[in-house]
């Protein structure tokens, strides 16, 4: 049942995190009522403090591994630590967050008949043997390694989404997000873009894991949020999974060189052991997103990096 307002009521789990805070901001600016639920494991109130005065924004401290009873029209399920350092800190809780979190949010969606979007990941492809990765590829994932709590948790969440869709006719949307970067990334979360920028700005050595020949494709946060919202608003028969990412692929060494050049840093490169199961290459095929969402990323790596560098240079950690 809708309230007197014509505004859509939208729940964003993990809304105080990096991607979630940008999503809350966009949804509010487009005239929605936004409910942000977060347990602040990796997110922070600082990311959404500027939204708190808005009467159409509401924040609740909630862990998605427990049921949540709210009345909403749409759910973006983003709650889950995303960087290897964070998701490996308490791997059992990581799996619970993906699996129990999905069950709870799908149960909520079923009760209130809400449309629900899952923030899945390119990690479902593991160390891919198909390159670039298309949605039809089933992946090459180690089920018992140190990344498995995240990868398999997200794979199981996808399974649950599709079973709720088939069994209960739930309206679902599954986005497979590739490496995304930008302002409000946690400065110490160990992800490569934040690590390199912080190291370069502080004149510390840039830590290259392995030989730096592994590749990633980096998407700027603004593009990604646009893709997520297009997916949520897509035709009913579009369930995904849909890859969302920037297909421009770089080696980690190339990224380090770019960051050094753009910051004018004197940092040197140091080589560290490659973490186990670290994928050797990753690049999204985004033909499906182009076709069904009319979406294509627009921000070039240099432009996005300039904004991320400005954020991390900010005296307060750079509230954006
Ligand atoms: P993030 O760590 O900044 O945000 C995750 C948010 O979820 C944080 O605010 C955290 O406190 C919250 N959270 C964690 N466990 C929770 C729980 N049990 N209950 C409630 N809240 C919880 O990470 P992010 O980069 O913003 O990622 C957001 C989502 O997008 C994640 O689901 C992640 O797997 C997915 N994703 C991100 C990327 C990327 O490159 N950033 C790539 C692929 C997928
Ligand atoms: N990486 C690196 N130095 C760092 C942090 C990461 O060389 O200080 C490498 C890491 O081994 C991986 C790539 O950068 O090959 C991307 O790592 P990130 O944790 O950002 O994302 P993911 O591995 O989940 O794609």
**DSSP assignment string, 183-241:** TT--TTS--HHHHHHHHHHTTPPEEEETTS--EEE-EEHHHHHHHHHHHHTS-TT----
Residue 1 within any structural domain of the chain: no
- Counting the structural domains of the chain, the total is 1
Tens of pLDDT, residue by residue over 115-164, are 999 999 999 999 999 999 999 999 999 999 999 999 999 999 999 999 99
Residue 190 clears pLDDT 60, i.e. is over it:
yes
Write the CATH number for 308.
3.40.50.720
pLDDT score for 18: 97
150 is catalytic: yes
Tell me the pLDDT band of 319, cut-offs 50, 70 and 90.
very low
Residue 139 within any structural domain of the chain: yes
Residue 57 clears pLDDT 60, i.e. is over it:
yes
Answer yes or no: are the C-beta atoms of 303 and 237 closer than 8 Å: no
Residue 202 within any structural domain of the chain: yes
Residue 216 within any structural domain of the chain: yes
Tell me the pLDDT band of 320, cut-offs 50, 70 and 90.
very low
Answer yes or no: are the C-beta atoms of 201 and 312 closer than 8 Å: yes
14 C-beta closer than 6 A to ligand 1: yes
17 C-beta closer than 6 A to ligand 1: yes
Choice among 76, 150, 164, 220 that is catalytic = 150
Tens of pLDDT, residue by residue over 243-257, are 999 999 999 999 999
Residue 18 within any structural domain of the chain: yes
Residue 293 clears pLDDT 50, i.e. is over it:
yes
Tell me the pLDDT band of 3, cut-offs 50, 70 and 90.
low
Protein residue with its CA nearest to atom 37 in ligand 1: 82
Tell me the pLDDT band of 48, cut-offs 50, 70 and 90.
very high
Residue 186 within any structural domain of the chain: yes
Q: Is the dihedral of CA 150, 138, 20, 169 positive or negative?
A: negative
Please state, for a pLDDT cut of 90, what percent of the chain lies above it: 94
Residue 157 within any structural domain of the chain: yes
pTM: 0.96
pLDDT score for 5: 77
Distance of CA 192 from the midpoint of ligand 2 (Å): 5
Protein residue with its CA nearest to atom 17 in ligand 1: 63
pLDDT score for 1: 53
> Which ligand sits closest to the CA of 209?
2
pLDDT score for 2: 55
Range of the structural domain that residue 177 is part of:
9-313
Residue 320 within any structural domain of the chain: no
Q: Average of pLDDT values for 210-227?
A: 97
> 96: which residues sit within 8 A by CB, 6+ positions away?
65
């Amino acid at each position: 049942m809708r309230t007197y307002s014509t505004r859509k009521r939208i729940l964003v789990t993990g809304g105080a995190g990096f991607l979630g805070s940008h999503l809350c901001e966009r949804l509010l600016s487009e005239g929605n009522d936004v409910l942000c639920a977060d347990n602040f494991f990796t997110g922070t109130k600082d990311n959404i403090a500027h939204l708190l005065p808005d009467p159409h924004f509401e924040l609740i401290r909630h862990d998605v591994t427990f049921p949540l009873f709210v009345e909403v029209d749409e759910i973006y399920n983003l709650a889950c630590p995303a960087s290897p350092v964070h998701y490996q800190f308490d791997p059992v809780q990581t799996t619970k967050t993906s699996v129990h979190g999905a069950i709870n949010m799908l149960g909520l969606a079923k009760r209130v008949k809400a449309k629900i979007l899952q923030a899945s990941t390119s990690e479902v492809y593991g160390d891919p043997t198909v390159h670039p990765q298309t949605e039809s590829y089933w992946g090459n994932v180690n089920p018992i390694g140190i990344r498995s709590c995240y990868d398999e948790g997200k794979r199981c969440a996808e399974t649950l989404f599709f079973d709720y869709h088939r069994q209960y006719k739930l309206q679902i949307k599954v986005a497979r997000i590739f490496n995304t970067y930008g302002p409000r990334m946690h400065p110490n979360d160990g992800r490569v873009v934040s690590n390199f920028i912080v190291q370069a700005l502080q004149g510390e050595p840039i830590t290259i894991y392995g030989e730096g020949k592994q590749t990633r494709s980096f998407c700027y946060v603004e593009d990604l949020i646009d893709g997520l919202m297009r997916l949520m608003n897509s035709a009913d028969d579009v369930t995904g999974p849909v890859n969302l990412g920037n297909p421009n692929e770089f080696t980690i060494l190339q990224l380090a060189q770019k960051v050094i050049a753009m910051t004018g840093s004197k940092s040197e490169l140091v080589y560290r052991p490659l973490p186990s199961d670290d994928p050797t290459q990753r690049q999204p095929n985004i033909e499906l997103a182009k076709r069904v969402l009319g979406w294509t990323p627009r921000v070039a790596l240099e432009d996005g990096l300039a904004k991320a560098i400005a954020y991390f240079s900010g005296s307060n950690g750079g509230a954006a």
